[in-house]
Amino acid sequence: MKRDLDLIREILITLENDDNPGSWKVIQLEGSDQKVISYHVKLLTEAGLIEGKDANLTPTFWWYARSLTNQGHDFLDTIKNETTYSKVKEKMGNQIKTAPLIVVSSVAIEVAKEWTLSKLGYK
């Protein structure tokens, strides 16, 4: 299964908007298969961006999520803005599909810096 940055972004935004960060939950997103979502919850957990756990429902692949970590908030802050995220995807092209999340975050920070400097009249 391939990593999907759009889905990762949706999961992170969903958790950020959740009013109950102390409870375990199944992330459900319209138009996304539950197995694919669970796989991405697992990836985000392994990356240290969210608190997640395996439901251990053999043979079903199912992961629960609870909340963002501090690192997850930092990463989401770099890609949450739709305009910035679109520019990051434009700059990275197909490379965004295989780039490490830290690289995506770095590009997003640079895009945000460029935008901010231009708005302040420095570029």
Burial readout 7-22 (b: 16 or more C-beta within 10 A, e: otherwise): bbbbbbebbeebeeee
- The pLDDT value recorded for residue 23 is 96
Nearest to 44 by CA among 66, 22, 21, 19: 66
Arithmetic mean of pLDDT, 45-54: 96
Domain range 5-69, CATH class: mainly alpha
> 62-108 pLDDT, tens per residue?
999 999 999 999 999 999 999 899 999 999 999 998 899 999 999 99
Give the position of tokens 């889905």.
7
> 95-122 pLDDT, tens per residue?
998 899 999 999 999 998 888 888 888 8
pLDDT at 123 over 80: no
More confident residue, 34 or 123: 34
The pTM of this model reads 0.89
- The pLDDT value recorded for residue 112 is 86
Helix, strand, coil shares, percent, the chain, to 5: 60, 10, 30
For the chain, the structural domain boundaries read 5-69, 76-119
